[in-house]
Amino acid sequence: MMGTTRALYEAYKTKMQKIADVKYASAVLQWDQETYLPVKGGDFRGRQIATLSELAHEEFINEKTGVLLKELASKDDLSETEKRNVQLSIEDYNKSTKLPASFVREMSEAVNRSFHAWIEARKENTFSIFREPLDAIIQLKKQEADLLGYEHHPYNALMNDYDKGLTVSTVDELFSNLRPQLLNILKDIESQPQVGDHFLKQHFNKDKQWQFGMEMLKRIHFDFDAGRQDISEHPFTTNFNSNDVRLTTRIDENDFGNMTWSCLHEGGHGLYEQGLPASEYGLPLGEYCSISIHESQSRLWENCVGRGKSFWQYNYPLLLSFFSKEFEGISPEQFHKAINKVQPSLIRTEADELTYHFHVMIRYELEKRLLEGSLHAADIPAFWNEHYKKYLGINVPDDKRGCLQDVHWSHGSFGYFATYSIGSLYAAQLYAAIGRTYPQLEADIANGNNATILTWLRQHIHKYGRYYASGEICRQATGEELNSQYFIDYATKKYSDIYRK
């Protein structure tokens, strides 16, 4: 009996790893598309990615896979880890079989057209170039929601892809509670003198910024023997296995923060991918828990650590070694206040920790309405501009700094944006838990010891892969499920110090 189970499980493992091989081969082509692909290569690259996506999907949803999974599920001599892999694969199989291979190919081809249209639209600074390819994606996403099935709202089907069980009602309630508390903190800040940050907007040499960013990644223990960093239009992280993780960043020579925070943000994503168990390659337990938890890792390193006073107590001399002229006469305290300046801005990825959530709320509301049909692709610029004025009090000057700033829609990633805010809330809660475990945490960071944080995350988050859903992994790690009060307490303390009365 045991031998039969072993043989079945090995067959399952082999099959899943072969499917992963095809998926990651496609991911390599997608990474290349956003970093080094020649302009004329786009059409054929779209075909190649679509073919591989279709092949992987067909291999996973065929009847033999279903029979194998059903037989394995009936066995009672699997280990807990093996049992969980099978359970999760059955969930994935049942969901994937609802999507015909022809639909997967059509979506992949539409995404390729949409991505290249987005690049061109940003270059020309006009949404009209992107409107029709994006509308095709929206219609396919509506179709996908119908194929997958949902209760109450079509957006639920898509959000479930990024955080299992996440729903419109959950996010609506979360944002309704968060919004007034954020506004109260912002109101207190507005009553205080604004901090200065003019020195962050000087000219910063591109090559020096790159070298500085690479050194920062090393200092948070990103393993360059198991990854690399490159330049792309929009920063992102992808992986082909836990020993091959790719980060990208972008550099603005007139804005120090653009590259610095994208390096730390994507570095957080990369550390998570490098911490997933290599022994589970191709299996659910070798994959990340959810996008919300993934975002918690990036926001923790970017904000809780990277915008913290302790971090710069150690790293400020490194900064001066690259930019002594630019930061001449600027104290570490001035620098710390500047990088945490709270002020409404146009670009989500450059926003402060407080106003950031309003960027997310606007995108969430927009996507929700596109999926329910109360808004259409042609309505996006007007809705965007109106709500940036309403929520953030700023006028959007053009499409590139408005509704064309994010790559997500061109990838077909509808349902993603709420996880940015949820990830920030998880980050504050996890950081508080690390602090309870290690009371000397801030002293460690101030001495350049970031391994304390990474070791805790490896033990409490990374090693589990998808074993637990978001709420449960948070409960296991912190003693309770998501509690937004941790973020409010963190933000109140941090900004009360920066904007002293």
**What amino acid positions are annotated as catalytic residues?**
266
CA 154 to chain centre: 22
Closest CA to 384 of 408, 407, 400: 400
Amino acid identity for residue 22 in this structure: V
Residue 415 and residue 441: Cα distance in Å, rounded?
A: 35
Give the pairing type, strands 227-231 and 244-249.
Answer: parallel
User: Is residue 185 within 8 Å of residue 492, measured between CB atoms?
Assistant: yes
| List of residues 6+ apart from 159 with CB closer than 8 A | 166, 167, 168, 171, 415, 418
Question: Is the Cβ–Cβ distance between 501 and 192 less than 8 Å?
Answer: yes
CA dist., res. 190 & res. 266, Å (int): 31
Q: In the block, which residue shows the tokens 């079509």?
A: 154
Helix (H) or strand (E) segment spanning residue 228: strand 227-231
Judge contact between 32 and 246, C-beta under 8 A: no
- Output Rg (C-alpha) for the chain, integer angstroms: 23
Round to whole Å and give the CA distance between 72 and 66.
Answer: 10
Closest CA to 418 of 345, 482, 494, 343: 482
Residue for token pair 């779209």: 46
Dmax (CA) of the chain? 74
Task: Report d(CA 262, CA 31) in Å as an integer.
Answer: 17
Closest CA to 371 of 115, 119, 150, 182: 150
The one-character DSSP state at 238 is: E
Cβ-Cβ contacts under 8 Å for 208 (sequence gap 6 or more):
322, 323
Closest among 486, 396, 400 to 435, alpha carbons compared: 486
Q: What is the rounded CA–CA span in Å between residue 88 and residue 290? A: 13
Burial of residue 399, with CB atoms counted within 10 A of its CB: 0-12 exposed, 13-18 middle, 19 or more buried: buried
Q: Which two tokens stand for residue 202?
A: 């000087």
